[in-house]
Amino acid sequence: MLHYEISGNGKEQLVLLHGFMENHTIWKEMEPHLSKEFTLIKINLPGHGSSEVIAETHTMELMAQEVKKVTDTLHIDKFHLLGHSMGGYATLAFTEKFPEVLKSITLFFSSPFTDDQEKKDQRQKSLRVIKEAFPAYVQAGIPNLFNPNEKDILEGKIEIAKKIALSTPTTGVLAAVKGMMERTDKTAVLESFAGKILIIAGKHDNAVKTDTVLNNLPEKTNIKSYLLDSGHNGHWEKPTICAEIINTELLHHLPKNLVF
């Protein structure tokens, strides 16, 4: 079963899914700002952190099935599910399969849409680079995920992101890339899901086409979106603001001094 860690003892369960080449420790800076009303279940997706590689291709559907095994083991239902980037893709696959157990879903710097041809080509090329020069792949790629206007300020956090990425086994990285290449459009999931849908996006996100996401969301009253002055990693770039949004939207509290 997937490795996970639990913190807090609030009455509302919030399951957190990290992104590509990340693990459960990415939530460290955001966690102190999340409401004490949450119990946080931080899961390591297959091939990441201490969770084993379980297939040659980790599809988003496979990830969703493995996450469900964790929530079943913990005997939780009617919980909130939040996924960063690839974790958002897994969140959508989970929602498609198990909508009845979810109170809300949060796409955290993620997208319901399939890759365009350019992105698919990038992923295909990355398979070879990961096999042949994984450290160089990490060194070159990770800084591009942060706000280019604040790279000097974010230098320490960029190094943390690199360290986490380099700790990910290449077999897990390759399985994840293959899984992301196979993912399908999940717009219908957003259209059919009756619970709260929260979208948190970054103006300077080089991994997700934010404009495409925000301009093509279904017009539904249960969808709320926020655009932050950040890159792809709000949990490191804007942890306090991201936590305030999550607290406000998922717990229906009024924000305190919420500034964007």
- The model's pLDDT over 98-125, given as tens digits with 9 standing for 90+, comes to 999 999 999 999 999 999 999 999 999 9
Distance (Å, whole) CA 94 – CA 111: 14
pLDDT in the model for residue 245: 97
Alpha carbon distance 182, 207 (integer Å):
17
Mean model confidence pLDDT for the chain: 96
260 part of a folded domain:
no
Distance separating alpha carbons of residues 15 and 44, to the nearest angstrom: 11
Count of domains observed in the chain: 1
Q: Is residue 22 part of a domain?
A: yes
Tell me if 23 is assigned to some domain.
yes
pLDDT above 90: percentage of residues in the chain = 96
Q: How many residues does the chain have?
A: 260
* Domain of 99, in residue numbers: 4-251
pTM: 0.96
> Pseudo-torsion of CA 30, 170, 112, 160, nearest 10°?
20
Over range 211-231, report the average pLDDT. 97
Q: At 103, is the secondary structure helix, strand, or coil?
A: strand
Residue 108 placed within a domain = yes
The reply to whether 259 falls in a domain is no
Mean pLDDT of all residues in 225-242: 98
- Residue 256 included in any domain: no
**84-102 pLDDT tens trace:** 999 999 999 999 999 999 9
Residue 256: pLDDT over 70:
no
259 pLDDT exceeds 50? no
Instruction: Report pLDDT for 252.
Output: 76
Query: Do the domain assignments include residue 257?
Result: no
Task: Residue 59: name the closest of 239, 183, 231, 202 by CA.
Answer: 183
Give the domain CATH number at 97. Answer: 3.40.50.1820
Q: Which amino acid is at 235?
A: H
pLDDT of 21-44, one tens digit each? 999 999 999 999 999 999 999 999
